[in-house]
Amino acid sequence: MIIAVDGPAASGKGTLASGLARHYRLPYLDTGLLYRAVGLAVAGQTEGPGFEAAAIAAAKALDAAHLTDIEALTAADTGVLASKVAVIAEVRKALFDFQRSFALQPDGAVLDGRDIGTTIAPDADVKLFIQADSKARMERRARQLEARGQEVDRYALYHQIEERDARDMQNPYGGFYKADDAHLLDTTLLDIEAALRAAIAIVDGTMAGKAGS
């Protein structure tokens, strides 16, 4: 069973996807980490003619060693860098095979990101598109960073998230839109447990429907 989970920044898709992976005992991949790792690799050189080439080279050279510094990878600034490298078609192409192979593991997998249901696994058994209003998303991300001891400027964070969402939605290569067959789940008013229960109900319902058809 392949489960695709997409949605905007801090919508709760990662928490939900890892909860689903635990529930169904499936391997889980946070694809945002790949773009974040490429962004980190080219931090400090995001302007100028060499930027695209450096980002493409970093995407081609990416391996597990680049995915270990979770604190640097998950920082808010790294998210902005990630969205800048994510608009480069060759970067997306370089990251495609790893994500596609992950999705095609024998038991299946859960992946979360922006283009899982549209591009990486358009054949996924269940697709979820997670939404939450932007103030709720900013507040969640703020608390998440504060829990790690980081100081947060909420005004700056709100604008960073808006800037990133806008860039992602205009990304001509990103496929960041709800797939026609994705189930929309708005988590604005749901806590983590309630969101997970709702997602499990959707997955179970979809799989039962497939088995019956």
d(CA 157, CA 10): 11
Amino acid at 50: G
Bridge partners, 184 (sequence order): 129
As measured in angstroms, the least distance from the Cβ of 212 to ligand CDP is: 30
Under rule CB under 6 A, residue 32 binds ligand CDP = yes
Under rule CB under 6 A, residue 127 binds ligand CDP = no
List the alpha helices (DSSP H) in 104-185: 134-147, 154-170
Range 154-173, binding ligand CDP (CB under 6 A): 164, 168
Among 4, 7, 40, 127, binds ligand CDP (CB under 6 A): 7
CB atoms within 10 A of CB 58: 19
Is-contact 124 117, C-beta < 8 A?
A: yes
Window contacting ligand CDP (CB under 6 A); options: 21-29, 46-54, 191-199, 204-212: 191-199
Please tell me whether 15 is known to bind a ligand.
Answer: yes
Range 74-113, binding ligand CDP (CB under 6 A): 79, 82-83, 86, 113
56: its two tokens: 């493409």
Under rule CB under 6 A, residue 13 binds ligand CDP = yes
Q: Which of 173, 166, 175, 164 lies closest to 82, judged by CA?
A: 164
As measured in angstroms, the least distance from the Cβ of 73 to ligand CDP is: 8
Please tell me whether 12 is known to bind a ligand.
Answer: yes
d(CA 182, CA 110): 14
Question: Would you say the C-alpha torsion 6, 9, 11, 12 has a positive or negative sign?
Answer: positive
In the chain, at which residue ranges do the beta strands (DSSP E only) sit? Answer: 2-6, 28-30, 109-113, 126-131, 183-186
Under rule CB under 6 A, residue 144 binds ligand CDP = yes
Bridge partners, 131 (sequence order): 186
Residue closer to ligand CDP (CB basis): 7 or 108: 7
Residue closer to ligand CDP (CB basis): 24 or 128: 128
Under rule CB under 6 A, residue 55 binds ligand CDP = no
Binding-site positions read 7-15
**Site residues (CB under 6 A) for ligand CDP?**
7, 9-15, 31-32, 35-36, 79, 82-83, 86, 113-115, 140-141, 144, 164, 168, 174, 187, 190-192, 195
Q: Which residues are annotated as a binding site for ATP?
A: 7-15
